[in-house]
């Protein structure tokens, strides 16, 4: 996968976190700090998992 696709996926994930997080804050389900923390965790975990999947696929070839 090229760098442009990876960047677009990361931007999409950030936008989804913003939309869902804003909705949850508006409904009173989550505090703003919690949404920020979840977004930060997602920005660390998603690339980590993505890299592991890519590594396993390359190892299987």
Residue pLDDT tens, the chain, 61 long: 566 777 787 788 788 888 999 999 999 999 999 988 988 888 788 788 888 988 998 898 8
Helix, strand or coil for residue 61? coil
Q: What is the per-residue pLDDT for 10? A: 76
Q: What is the per-residue pLDDT for 9? A: 79
Phi-psi region of 60 (alpha: psi -120 to 50; beta: other; left: phi over 0): alpha
pTM: 0.63
Q: What is the per-residue pLDDT for 25? A: 93
Q: What is the per-residue pLDDT for 43? A: 78
- Take residue 40 and report the two structure tokens written for it: 């930060």
- With the C-alpha atoms ordered 33, 29, 44, 15, is the resulting torsion angle positive or negative? negative
Task: Report CA-CA distances (Å) from 54 to 17, 21, 39, 51, 57.
Answer: 23, 28, 22, 5, 5
């Amino acid at each position: 996968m090229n760098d442009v696709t990876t960047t677009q996926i990361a931007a999409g994930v950030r936008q989804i976190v913003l939309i869902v997080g804003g909705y949850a804050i508006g409904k009173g389900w989550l505090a703003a700090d919690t949404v920020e923390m979840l977004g930060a965790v997602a920005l660390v975990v998603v690339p980590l998992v993505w890299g592991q999947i890519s590594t396993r696929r390359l190892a299987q070839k």
